[in-house]
Amino acid sequence: MAEAPRYVLYEHAVGYALLRVKEFEDIGLMIPQVEESVADVQRFCSIVKLVAFEPFKNTEAAVENCNNISEGVVHQDLLNFLEANLPKKKDKVVTLGVNDGKLAGAITEIMERVRCVYTGVVPEILRGVRVHFAHIAKDLPHHSLSKAQLSLGHSYSRGKVKFDVHRVDNMVIQSIALLDQLDKDINLFGMRIREWYSYHFPELFKLVPDQYKYVRCACAIMDRKNMDDSVIEKLKEIVEDDDKVNEIVETAHTSMGMEISCMDLLNIERFATRVASLTEYRRSLHEYIKERMQSCAPSLTALIGEQVGARLISHAGSLTNLAKYPASTVQILGAEKALFRALKTHSNTPKYGLLFHSSFIGRASAKNKGRISRFLANKCAVASRIDCFSDVPVPTYGEFLRQQVEDRLKYFETGEVPKKNLDVMKEAIQEADVVKIKVLKKRKKEAKKAKKAAEEKANQTLLEVENQEEVAQEEPSSEKKKKKKKRSESEMGEKRAINDVEMEELDGEADEAPKKKKKKRHSKGEVNQDDE
């Protein structure tokens, strides 16, 4: 039974904690009692007591310490913490319980008077500390512990994943599966169009054996009786041979095919158009796989080509899995059925699987196919490991490995002894270093361009926002001016109306005043007449 520790190191998201285990002499014999005490806070606190706690300075320091612990490396912060808080008696050896065996070995190597234990009762004690840490460390803010754990978990996982857009092999796996499916579908649909259109023009397939060109020619011709100049021009663009076009035109006039209605021809044309577009998409998908493989696994692509390399990665599950495979597994990858059949029947095992599609196997003689397959599998394993674990993958190693396979083929045919592998790899390393420098410079330039474009875009958006704000500020001011104008116009109208009314009143008064005077005069005259 493992010795019970006197001190226990607990790594939390917020810092390091050192705890002293009480009654450490008897606790090693009481593992069931320790398991029971984990559920009870008071009983567990009677066994374990917090001695010291050292918080991390910031999130970056927490992530750095977490990475070192996961790799079994003692960080300087942890070393300073242990040296400051463990007993400093030189004669006495201190027993420290830790969670990881690698970390225990690293601490023991650095600190001679510390003996680390990670088995026995230690996991149960650390489990209890993990459960009741909020009660043990009462001075810490309990509400922030879960947030710190979540933040550290995200940061640690983000660093472990190391997502690189240019080295995603999942896209290669899906693309090569889609390419294989498209090959089957295009072949099936092409045969369907050939059988369908051959009722009308059976001689066309012998004149244009290529499936893609046949489908396009069928779309261009449709009714063989209507071979006008526009149809002939389309055929010249498709076939790229004037003599062949003239032969097609002559054969169309004397064809033995049956007459087809316009509705049937329209249906054939629609289907043929879709098959032609599928074929074009298949070509673009092949270019996409080629670019992806050159960025994901350039050495493997340079060695055996993008399609065979992509199929190897797809069959293995990922580039990392392929890099972990030995050369013997890479050699028969894709021939599992034949392998298990051979093992079951005690017959000869297969010599190659997916590597059979490589050009090297086809060029080798019958007796050398197994040898070149084994040699090629060895080089594929090396290339996949270089691509997977190098920081800046370059195709240089794949080119040198390909030349080695070529030299081995020559050796089998002519007996010419190739260069030693050590000399070839030295040359490859020298050339690869030069290529890496160029690639890094190119990446820096692209990063600068991207940064400059982002800054220009940000400035443009700021200008647009400022313009929008200015327009928004101008609109209410113009409305106010309009309101002022409206108010002034209304006030002027009111004033004019008042002035008009006043003028009318004055005119009325002026008209009434002379009438009254005349009446007075008239009355005076009457009075005078009466007096007379």
pLDDT digits (tens, 9 = 90+) for 429-476: 999 999 989 888 888 888 888 888 888 888 888 888 888 877 777 766
Please give the order of strands across the beta sheet that includes 15-21.
48-55, 15-21, 7-11, 94-97, 114-117
Query: Under DSSP, is residue 280 helix (H, G, I), strand (E, B) or coil?
Result: helix
pLDDT score for 246: 92
Label residues 244-271 b or e (16+ Cβ within 10 Å = b).
bbeebeebbeeeeeeebeeeebeebbeb
pLDDT score for 32: 63
49 membership: H or E segment, kind and range: strand 48-55
Structural domains in the chain plus CATH codes: 7-161 (3.30.420.220), 169-294 (1.10.287.4070), 302-431 (1.10.246.90)
pLDDT score for 530: 46
Cβ neighbours of residue 24 closer than 8 Å, sequence gap 6 or more: 4, 5, 6, 95
Query: pLDDT confidence of 426, banded at 50, 70, 90?
Result: very high
| 228/243 Cα distance (integer angstroms) | 17
Q: Look over the chain and give the mean of its residue pLDDT values, rounded to a whole number.
A: 83
Query: pLDDT confidence of 519, banded at 50, 70, 90?
Result: very low
Residue 527 has pLDDT above 60, yes or no: no
Residue 517 has pLDDT above 50, yes or no: no
Query: pLDDT confidence of 513, banded at 50, 70, 90?
Result: very low
pLDDT score for 475: 66
Contact, 98 vs 118, CB < 8 A?
yes
What percent of the chain stands above pLDDT 90? 41
Q: Which of 23, 15, 38 is nearest to 137 (CA)?
A: 15
| Rounded average pLDDT over 513-524 | 45
Label residues 4-25 b or e (16+ Cβ within 10 Å = b).
bbbbbbbbbbbbbbbbebeebe
Name the most confidently modeled range: 24-38, 70-84, 278-292. 278-292
Query: pLDDT confidence of 510, banded at 50, 70, 90?
Result: very low
Surface-to-core class of residue 381, CB atoms within 10 Å of its CB (0-12 exposed, 13-18 middle, 19+ buried): buried
Give the strand pairing for 114-117 and 94-97. parallel
Residue 213 has pLDDT above 90, yes or no: yes
Contact, 50 vs 135, CB < 8 A?
no
Angle between helices 262-296 and 306-316 (to 10 degrees): 80
